[in-house]
Structure 1
Amino acid sequence: MSRTEAAPDQALGDLTERLLAGLPADAVLTDPDVTASYAHDMASFCPAGAPAVVVLPRTVEQVQHVMRTATALRVPVVPQGARTGLSGGANASDGCIVLSLTKMDRILEINPVDRIAVVEPGVVNATLSRAVGEHGLYYPPDPSSWEMCTIGGNIGTASGGLCCVKYGVTAEYVLGLDVVLADGRLMSTGRRTAKGVAGYDLTRLFVGSEGSLGIVVRAVLALRPKPPQQLVLAAEFASAAAACDAVCRIMAGGHVPSLLELMDRTTVAAVNSMAKMGLPETTEALLLAAFDTPDPASDLAAVGALCEAAGATQVVPADDAAESELLLQARRLSLTALEAVRGVTMIDDVCVPRSRLGDLIEGVERIAGKHRLTIGVVAHAGDGNTHPTVCFDAADPDESRRARESFDEIMALGLELGGTITGEHGVGVLKKEWMAREIGPVGIEMQRGIKRVFDPLDLLNPGKLF
């Protein structure tokens, strides 16, 4: 009997035995009840298989051993971080090795002169941010799940966050990587220097590749000097269109806020219902702007005037850090509050040009009415990245169908407005069809060609992206 014809128990035993030859016993999990807990991330409507085994390596050499074993036995490997993703990109496939990198969680170096940090992939974003802050430095990318998500996952999805309007996304802070390839070889890309243009930019190629080209085992990250404490302004509007007009005025005026976030009336109502924050029920849209400049009060005053010119019904600037944090609390509670509306949410991630932000929000409102659903919109308004959030009852088949249809219509609307199907959550399983529509057949052909160069056996996170 060949290996491919071997009985499942025999095949699993062979796989486990080979993995244990290079991994400690507590790093190889085969109990089905345990492995099932690693099957999927936080996305809805994304199929997930049953992993054969979960491995939790602690060293680069152990990762190499896993990949050599996988190549020898032709077993697919699904890399995972904290599984906070929202596109099914970390979902297991049947019979795969789930390669969880959460145990590789060391900060190896913080260098204030070169302004870099060298970290393993399992380091939690918030842990890194606090550690570099003790050196007067700042790691800007701050996804909403920053208290849980890992740097490896952030790199895999090229994630963003609230501060992107001023500081940019993860890709702009990844200088170099150590990557274990599908066959177990170790490759280094990029640099530790501020500049460097030697050859193709393979570092950027891996950022956003969702674990489909190699396993990131070490990252060199750029840091910035820690900015002053930001102050926040909240502006209420009688329409989403007026709030989006204010966003356009702020950006056209040359202002560089450290944060510019928008919540529509549905989101404001959900936050009020859950947290009793006392936000005015008449608010159709709430815009939050922040500055971490040397004179934030002056900047807030200028932006407040622009908001009033756009029709703001009330503008409330914070006087200090504590008041600023209170204003931001509503935004941080948005997704949790929307989930409480019907029990389950499907979070979209459509990014459009800032000038079309109002059109996107109006379109989402029409789609919500058409499908008789609650859909709240929160947005990183400063960069046009919106998160329309479909609230539905997963136990209701008809409502689930309408939720999926509305999700697809929102992505179609985003493309129609000149946008993209994902600004920071990635493609994963959820948006494979939509990526094909966005980049076209030639683009997909080139993407698959790159995949074949790095992973000719299609072992790394198969079935994702395309």
Structure 2
Amino acid sequence: MTVSTITSGELLEALVDGLPEGSVITDRDLIESYRQDYARDPDAGVPLAVVRANSTEDVQAVMRWATAHRVPVVPRGAGSGLSGGATAVDGGIVLTTERMRGIEVDPVTRTAVVQPGLLNADVKKAVAAHGLWYPPDPSSFEMCSIGGNAATNAGGLCCVKYGVTTDYVLGLQVVLADGTAVRLGGPRLKDVAGLSLTKLFVGSEGTLGIITELTLRLIPAQPVQSTVVASFSSLQDAADAILAITRLLRPSMLEFMDSVAINAVEDELKMGLDRNAAALLVARSDAPGPYAANEAETMANVCRDNNATEVFSTDDPEEGEAFTVARRFAIPAVELKGDLLLEDVGVPLPQLAALVNGIANIAAKREVMVSVIAHAGDGNTHPLIVYNAADKAMTERAHIAFGEIMDLAISLGGTITGEHGVGRLKKAWLPDYVGEDVMELTRKIKNALDPNAILNPGAII
């Protein structure tokens, strides 16, 4: 029997036979919940089946079967991605690692060996029991998986000081397209033997291999933080304060919310935020001992010097955390105003004001609401385009604005994605950003590791 004459039923039978009972989902209603990630790509396909892997061996079995029958496989973590990186394709397999949730912590080497389905919050909790901390902290840390974080090289609120996911991945186990499982790196803080293949797979969005285990670097528990919250009547004043703060010190957090986000959060949380403010900064210091309070005072004075209308400082952990929660809640709060197109553009810090003001101009021109929140300390912004999906004309304007914001970021020397990945929603802009020579190099790497183009086809390239 040739591959071309095998029916879908026979294909599935061969897949089911090679996996533990209950691993393969074919029920149409259950499959529906796996077709899209949080980006809700309207072009999501209908997969042949969903496989819930329990082990590296399960993933290997799927990839051997997929290679033999030329069936595309879309890896999926928790489905919290925001760029369509886990969008299903017609006739393919969605391979979810959500059941792979093991963790082993070694407090002596300050490392943890983690399976990809474990949530970021669960990793933090497990290592905290040993007095340790895993710093990368996306706003969605309570619902995003470690495997997905690695696949997109996720960042978060603390990355201005502590770095992003790749800075904490010491080793990986990866299943390649043909089912081969390879180990890269390991629990060594210094290791430069051979090519830096571990880094190659972090951020590859499941297009080069499927991560089935991670060795993570941990650090001592974060000290108690001091928090500064400042309101501004103009975006420029807020941007000037951000630049002044980062010239003087490295805060553990420096976050920005515009007026739309401020009001959306205030609508829900009733915290007493200034509804008339054009911008709000939430800054924190975790410097040791008394230095945190000193840095907080410095940041507060900088905000005052840059015309802040209100400045609030606190050393109380609960008070400070309340404002961090408010910042994390910004995207869900804005989403209550309508359908969202979520961006992830970043620029060099001196261009932050130009980006935010340019986005405001695009919003006015296209007659759509755009809220900007940002990891301001490293220039990574999240413009949130609010529209009504039932309004065809508005939807078209929203998508035009989506592209214009990426074009604007590129023109300012920035990037089309700082932490969410390219996925399917942004790949049209990738060639303009990296250039054709880099795109050709990317294709060569992809072709070498996935010659049949079955790993997450349609993502990135």
> Is the 8 Å Cα contact of residues 46 and 429 (structure 1) preserved in structure 2?
no
Distance of 2:198 and 2:42 partners within structure 1: 28
Q: How many residues align?
A: 459
1:232 aligns with 2:227: yes
Q: 1:39 to 1:45 in 2, by over 3 A?
A: closer
Query: Which letter maps to 2:365?
Result: K
Partner of 1:180: 175
Q: 1:460 aligns with which of 452, 455, 458?
A: 455
Please give the residue correspondences for 1:186-335 in structure 2 after superposition, counting only pairs within 5 Å. 186-253=181-248, 255-294=249-288, 295=290, 296-335=292-331
1:354 aligns with 2:315: no
SS for the counterpart of 2:33 is helix
Distance of 1:308 and 1:416 partners within structure 2: 32
Partner of 1:450: 445
Q: 1:24 aligns with which of 7, 20, 23?
A: 20
Cα deviation, residue 232, structure 1: 1.3
Distance of 2:333 and 2:280 partners within structure 1: 15
Cα deviation, residue 403, structure 1: 0.6
Partner of 1:404: 399
1:393 aligns with 2:388: yes
> Is the 8 Å Cα contact of residues 225 and 315 (structure 2) preserved in structure 1?
no
> Is the 8 Å Cα contact of residues 124 and 147 (structure 1) preserved in structure 2?
yes
Which deviates the most, 53-62 or 14-23?
Answer: 14-23
Question: Percent of aligned pairs with the same residue?
Answer: 49
1:81 aligns with 2:105: no
Query: Which letter maps to 1:47?
Result: D
SS for the counterpart of 2:22 is helix
SS for the counterpart of 2:199 is helix
Q: 2:88 aligns with which of 83, 89, 92?
A: 92
1:4 aligns with 2:4: yes
Query: Which letter maps to 2:62?
Result: V
Partner of 1:105: 101
Cα deviation, residue 62, structure 1: 1.3
Cα deviation, residue 12, structure 1: 2.1
- After TM superposition, the score normalised by the length of structure 1 is 0.97
Query: Which letter maps to 1:207?
Result: V
> Is the 8 Å Cα contact of residues 36 and 51 (structure 1) preserved in structure 2?
no
Cα deviation, residue 319, structure 1: 3.3
Partner of 1:68: 64
Partner of 1:150: 145
1:89-132 CA distance string (max 9 Å, x none): 0001100011000011111x211111110011111100000110
Partner of 1:115: 110
Cα deviation, residue 225, structure 1: 0.7
1:414-463 CA distance string (max 9 Å, x none): 00110000000000100011111101111111000000111111110011
Query: Which letter maps to 1:362?
Result: N
Cα deviation, residue 32, structure 1: 1.5
Cα deviation, residue 231, structure 1: 2.1
Residue segments in structure 1 that go unaligned for 5+ positions in a row:
none
Query: Which letter maps to 1:94?
Result: D
Q: 1:293 to 1:324 in 2, by over 3 A?
A: same
- Aligned alpha-carbon RMSD (Å): 1.1
> Is the 8 Å Cα contact of residues 85 and 459 (structure 2) preserved in structure 1?
yes
Cα deviation, residue 68, structure 1: 0.6
Distance of 1:138 and 1:455 partners within structure 2: 35
1:383 aligns with 2:389: no
Cα deviation, residue 329, structure 1: 2.7
Q: 1:162 aligns with which of 157, 162, 182?
A: 157
- After TM superposition, the score normalised by the length of structure 2 is 0.98
Query: Which letter maps to 2:277?
Result: T
> Is the 8 Å Cα contact of residues 46 and 87 (structure 1) preserved in structure 2?
no
SS for the counterpart of 1:351 is coil
Cα deviation, residue 46, structure 1: 4.8
